[in-house]
Structure 1
């Protein structure tokens, strides 16, 4: 399982014609000659799997829009043994954003309560009660990130390492 997830939001025109190596560097938010650094990036370490569960209600479903954290088009390959980085085009970003805002606080809190169980298969669970505010904060950070990306017609790249 990947330990971290880096997401970048950006103008989709920035990645047109990038080589695989430049796309990998871009997805990781590393400097490249052919593309600028991200307008905004977000890094999740172990918390990404918890946020994915809050958004999708599943451990590994990558079906869009609910599975936006791990779903999307294959884009760039960093290592042959690892899954390629993924890309959400501007249309899928808008769908993911709508999905995030359609989730009721009640449903998100129900899913968070499920993560307090020892039976959960989600990495990082069980989530102790004293960490619930941190998890909700991370979830709200993703909502804000996708709201900005959708409002600006941006795409989102995802690098799981």
Structure 2
């Protein structure tokens, strides 16, 4: 199955609510599907009940009330970078999975949002200040910088997803593919920073 990296805008106030109550992340990454939030809430409640039963020898019957996430205009706007996320991360950082902040934000930016699986692991939330720092760093990244970091041999050796780097560029322009999505990513992050928004990043 494909792994797609998605980004959603969120206010700092709502990010704080999500970090305090991780099932709420579904109201950001899938705001039109209450079923995912309800399922995550039920799973979290069952885990808590099991812990209390082990602790006190009796189940906890009270169900936690549903929580609303009051979204303001401009929140939960979304974009994705398709399967180009790993190649973009490699070119920004020169590493497969690590890198120096803030340019390693696709893999390590922000705080992990609990243990709620939203695809391939939990999502991460970045504050408006963190997004502003990323936007400032991306402002200095141009095509020449990215092309200098694009190196098919080590990218293939390091198993950079989706493993298309050794293809003939005349038939499959993998660098151009990454740059198309990098342009969309940079524009999205810049716009979020201008509006004072944070981000939720997830791999689905």
Q: Which TM-score applies when normalising by structure 1? A: 0.81
CA displacement, residues 8-58 of structure 1 (integer Å, 9 cap, x when unaligned): 1122223343422112342x2333542438442112332211121122221
The CA deviation at 1:143 is 0.7
Match of 1:75 in 2: 113
Match of 1:20 in 2: 22
1:29 lines up with 2:40 in the alignment: no
Q: What is the distance in 2 between the residues matched to 1:70 and 1:85? A: 10
**Partner-residue secondary structure (3-state), 2:182:** helix
Match of 2:65 in 1: none
Q: What is the distance in 2 between the residues matched to 1:52 and 1:42? A: 16
Contact map agreement 2:84 2:178 (CA 8 A) in 1: yes
Going by fraction, where is helix more abundant, 1 or 2? 2
Q: What is the distance in 2 between the residues matched to 1:115 and 1:156? A: 30
**Partner-residue secondary structure (3-state), 2:163:** coil
Contact map agreement 1:52 1:69 (CA 8 A) in 2: yes
The CA deviation at 1:97 is 1.1
Contact map agreement 1:116 1:126 (CA 8 A) in 2: no
Query: Aligned to 2:179, which of 118, 136, 144?
Result: 136
**Partner-residue secondary structure (3-state), 1:123:** coil
Change over 3 Å in CA distance of 1:64–1:35 after alignment to 2 = farther
Q: What is the distance in 2 between the residues matched to 1:53 and 1:119? A: 12
- Kindly name which structure, 1 or 2, has the bigger radius of gyration based on alpha carbons: 2
| Ranges in structure 2 where 5+ consecutive residues have no aligned partner | 35-67
Aligned length: 159
Q: Which TM-score applies when normalising by structure 2? A: 0.66
| Ranges in structure 1 where 5+ consecutive residues have no aligned partner | none
